Structure 1
Amino acid sequence: MGERAVPRYSRIVVELRRRIETGELAPGDRLPSTREITKQWGVAMATATKVLTELRREGLVRAVPGVGTVVEAPGRPVRAARPASAPGPGPGGTADATPVPSGLTLERIVAAAVTVADAEGLAAVSMRRVAGELRAAPMSLYRHVADKDDLLTRMMDTAIAEHPLPAAPPQGWRAAIELAARQLWELFRRHPWFAPALSVTRPQLVTSALPYSEWILAVLHSHGLDLHSAFTAHLMLLNYARGIAVNLEAEREAEAHSGLDSEEWTDLQEPALLEVLATGRFPALSRLAAAGYHLDLDALFEFGLQRLLDGLASLLDESSAD
Structure 2
Amino acid sequence: MEPEAPYLRIAAEIRDRVARGELRPGDRVPSTREIHREWGVAMATATKVIAHLRDEGLVSTQPGVGTLVRQSRLVPVPREREPGSAPPALTRELIVRTALALADSDGLEGAAPRRVAVALGVPTKELHRHVRGREDLLTAMLDAVFDEEPWPLGPPAHWRDRLELSAHRTWRMFQRHPWAAPLLSMTRPHLSRSAIAFSEFSLGPLARLGLDADEVMSINLTLTGYVRGTAMSLQPERRAEQDTDLTADEWMDTQTGRLAELVASGHYPGLRYVSAHGFDYDLDALFEYGLQRLLDGAEARIRELGLLPEG
Q: Partner residue of 2:190?
A: 204
How big is each residue's C-alpha offset from its partner over 1:93-143, in whole Å with a ceiling of 9 and x where there is no partner? xx4689674421000000001011112211222222212222222221121
Which one-letter code corresponds to 1:320 in the other structure?
Answer: G
Which one-letter code corresponds to 1:236 in the other structure?
Answer: T
Q: In structure 2, list runs of 5 or more residues that go unmatched.
A: 1-17, 29-59
Which one-letter code corresponds to 1:129 in the other structure?
Answer: R
SS of residue matched to 2:232? helix
- Return the TM-score normalized by structure 2: 0.74
Q: Partner residue of 1:247?
A: 233
User: Does residue 205 of structure 2 align to residue 219 of structure 1?
Assistant: yes
User: Does residue 244 of structure 2 align to residue 258 of structure 1?
Assistant: yes
Q: Partner residue of 1:81?
A: 77
Q: In structure 1, list runs of 5 or more residues that go unmatched.
A: 1-16, 32-45, 63-71, 73-77, 89-94
Whether the 8 Å contact between 2:131 and 2:137 is mirrored in structure 1 is yes
Q: Partner residue of 1:38?
A: none
Whether the 8 Å contact between 1:127 and 1:148 is mirrored in structure 2 is yes
Whether the 8 Å contact between 2:77 and 2:118 is mirrored in structure 1 is yes
User: Does residue 278 of structure 2 align to residue 292 of structure 1?
Assistant: yes
1:136 to 115, 122, 137: 122
Quickly say closer, same or farther: Cα 1:180–1:197, change in 2 above 3 A: same
1:244, 1:149 → 2: CA distance? 25
Q: Partner residue of 2:267?
A: 281
User: Does residue 226 of structure 2 align to residue 230 of structure 1?
Assistant: no
1:193, 1:321 → 2: CA distance? 38
1:48 to 48, 62, 66: 62
Which one-letter code corresponds to 1:133 in the other structure?
Answer: A
Q: Partner residue of 2:139?
A: 153
SS of residue matched to 1:220? helix
Which one-letter code corresponds to 1:130 in the other structure?
Answer: V
How big is each residue's C-alpha offset from its partner over 1:26-85, in whole Å with a ceiling of 9 and x where there is no partner? 98x9x9xxxxxxxxxxxxxx97337464322xxxx23xxxxxxxxx7xxxxx65323xxx
- Return the TM-score normalized by structure 1: 0.71
- Aligned ranges 1:14-163 → 2 under 5 Å: 48-49=62-63, 51=65, 53-56=67-70, 61-62=71-72, 79-82=75-78, 86=79, 95=81, 101-163=87-149
2:250, 2:190 → 1: CA distance? 37
- After superposing the two structures, state which structure 1 stretch, 270-279 or 254-263, moved more: 254-263
2:121, 2:265 → 1: CA distance? 61
CA shift, 1:264, in A, is 2.0
- After superposing the two structures, state which structure 1 stretch, 135-144 or 164-173, moved more: 164-173
Let me know the Cα RMSD of the aligned residues. 3.0
User: Does residue 310 of structure 2 align to residue 314 of structure 1?
Assistant: no
Quickly say closer, same or farther: Cα 1:287–1:121, change in 2 above 3 A: same
Quickly say closer, same or farther: Cα 1:139–1:97, change in 2 above 3 A: farther
How big is each residue's C-alpha offset from its partner over 1:8-29, in whole Å with a ceiling of 9 and x where there is no partner? xxxxxxxxx9xx989xxx98x9
2:121, 2:77 → 1: CA distance? 9
